[in-house]
């Protein structure tokens, strides 16, 4: 594996392998000194063309725990703002000696484009509406541990609720959940579903209340205020009424069901109830697992010939 661009590039076995590796990374994270020398001497550059404190910090922490050198290329203060092209930026940094780029961009497809211009590995940290593969992996890991499902998701029912159309999290999660065997139901008004959704490996519902009782996982997506301006929603209030997680809806979930959200949450819109009061909420586990999953990805891409033993 050279790059991680899309869940599409991974088989179910690849995903399971990364999740198994994540177990080791979780264990490392629990040590008094949570750091191993596995990627000593490797240079990991974060290239975030779109702000994301959470994801960047998570990757940064993961790389440091594996003893890689990390460099944050701050796009806002760089030559990109002086009109330098994407290609020149990548070729220039590559020439300095880079082993992996962690890339976030508001345009779909940018991480894939970059692979043509660099010898380094490229990890997609979110591109446009397209993919956010490490989010999908951490979500799979959270479900696997939360529901004790080491052998895949056969028999599980997962609802992904909200703005699927504009969501890279949804595109990645749907692929990953389906590959591991889950039944996936998209729940949203038709305007927030992608066109040609019939080509996706999912069922579709427009009635959240009718599916709550059969769910093992309720995955809520962020719904943004600008969707009203696009004529996709009459109002956030109406969305919240139809699709928001209220205490009553939470009560209709089976007792074992997990409630997940990729963050940042819109309280009072998709999340009406205080998630702190939901016994099934694993939202903070998702964040914690993010570091371990990203360690696993970095190690799988850059760690050939090394092992996870020893202390930094």
User: Which of the residues are catalytic?
Assistant: 54-55, 82, 104, 132
DSSP string for residues in 253-273: S-TT-EEE--S---BTTTB-S
Strand partners, 311: none
Tokens of 218: 């309720």
Map the footprint of other proteins across residues 5-64, applying CB under 8 A. Answer: 8
Kindly tell me which of 86 and 308 has the beta carbon lying closer to other proteins.
Answer: 86
Three-state DSSP at 136 gives helix
Find the shortest distance in angstroms from Cβ 46 to other proteins: 18
Whole-number Å distance between alpha carbons of 3 and 185: 29
75: Cβ contacts below 8 Å, ≥ 6 apart: 47, 48, 49, 81
From 27, 91, 25, select the one nearest 64 (Cα to Cα): 25
Taking CB under 8 A as the rule, does residue 197 contact other proteins? yes
Q: What size, in residues, is the chain? A: 312
Q: Which helix (H) or strand (E) holds 46?
A: strand 43-48
Q: Choose which of 86, 265, 288, 308 interacts with other proteins (CB under 8 A).
A: 86
Stretch of 26-34, 108-116, 152-160, 234-242 lying at the interface with other proteins (CB under 8 A): 108-116
Estimate to the nearest angstrom the gap between the alpha carbon of 112 and the chain centroid: 17
Find the shortest distance in angstroms from Cβ 199 to other proteins: 4
Cβ-count burial of 95 within 10 angstroms (0-12 exposed, 13-18 middle, 19+ buried)?
A: exposed
**Count of residues in contact with other proteins, rule CB under 8 A:** 24
Find the shortest distance in angstroms from Cβ 190 to other proteins: 14
181: Cβ contacts below 8 Å, ≥ 6 apart: 12, 152, 153, 154, 155, 156
Q: Choose which of 171, 179, 183, 222 interacts with other proteins (CB under 8 A).
A: 171
From 211, 165, 207, select the one nearest 184 (Cα to Cα): 211
Taking CB under 8 A as the rule, does residue 194 contact other proteins? yes
Kindly tell me which of 26 and 86 has the beta carbon lying closer to other proteins.
Answer: 86
Stretch of 51-59, 84-92, 206-214, 271-279 lying at the interface with other proteins (CB under 8 A): 84-92
Kindly tell me which of 130 and 227 has the beta carbon lying closer to other proteins.
Answer: 130
Q: Choose which of 79, 85, 191, 241 interacts with other proteins (CB under 8 A).
A: 85
Three-state DSSP at 281 gives strand
Q: Choose which of 56, 65, 130, 144 interacts with other proteins (CB under 8 A).
A: 130
Whole-number Å distance between alpha carbons of 182 and 174: 9
Q: Choose which of 52, 61, 78, 108 interacts with other proteins (CB under 8 A).
A: 108
Whole-number Å distance between alpha carbons of 266 and 221: 9
- Cis upstream peptide for 17 (omega within 30°): no
Map the footprint of other proteins across residues 131-170, applying CB under 8 A. Answer: 131, 168
Find the shortest distance in angstroms from Cβ 275 to other proteins: 27
Taking CB under 8 A as the rule, does residue 128 contact other proteins? yes
Kindly tell me which of 87 and 237 has the beta carbon lying closer to other proteins.
Answer: 87
Q: Choose which of 52, 57, 94, 107 interacts with other proteins (CB under 8 A).
A: 107
Stretch of 179-187, 189-197, 202-210, 277-285 lying at the interface with other proteins (CB under 8 A): 189-197
Interacting residue ranges for other proteins, rule: CB under 8 A: 8, 85-87, 105, 107-110, 112-113, 127-131, 168, 171, 194-197, 199-200
């Amino acid at each position: 594996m050279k790059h991680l661009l899309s869940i599409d590039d991974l088989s179910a076995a690849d995903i399971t392998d990364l999740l198994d590796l994540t177990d080791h990374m979780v264990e490392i994270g629990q040590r008094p000194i949570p750091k191993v020398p596995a990627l000593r001497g490797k240079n990991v550059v974060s290239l975030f063309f779109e702000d994301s404190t959470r994801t960047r910090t998570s990757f940064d922490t993961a790389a440091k725990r594996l003893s890689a050198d990390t460099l944050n290329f701050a796009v806002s203060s760089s030559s990109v703002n002086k009109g330098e092209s994407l290609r020149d930026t990548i070729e220039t940094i590559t020439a300095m000696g880079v082993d992996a780029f962690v890339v976030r961009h508001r345009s779909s497809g940018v991480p894939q484009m970059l692979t043509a211009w660099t010898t380094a590995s490229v990890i997609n940290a979110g591109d446009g509406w397209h993919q956010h593969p490490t989010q999908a992996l951490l979500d799979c890991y959270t479900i696997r541990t939360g529901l004790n499902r080491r052998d895949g998701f056969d028999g599980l029912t997962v609802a992904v609720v909200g703005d699927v159309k504009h969501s890279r999290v949804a595109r990645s999660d749907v692929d990953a959940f389906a590959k591991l065997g889950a039944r996936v139901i998209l729940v949203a008004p038709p305007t927030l579903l992608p066109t040609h959704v019939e080509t996706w490996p999912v069922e579709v519902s427009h009635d959240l209340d009718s599916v709550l009782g059969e769910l093992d996982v309720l995955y809520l997506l962020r719904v943004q205020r600008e969707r009203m301006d696009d004529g996709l929603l009459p109002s956030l209030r109406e969305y919240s009424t139809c699709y928001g997680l209220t205490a009553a809806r939470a009560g209709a979930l089976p007792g074992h069901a997990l409630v997940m959200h990729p963050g940042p949450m819109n309280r009072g819109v998709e999340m009406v109830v205080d998630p702190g009061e939901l016994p099934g909420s694993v939202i903070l586990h998702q964040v914690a697992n993010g570091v371990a999953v990203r360690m696993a990805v970095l190690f799988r891409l850059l760690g050939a010939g090394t092992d996870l033993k020893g202390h930094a």
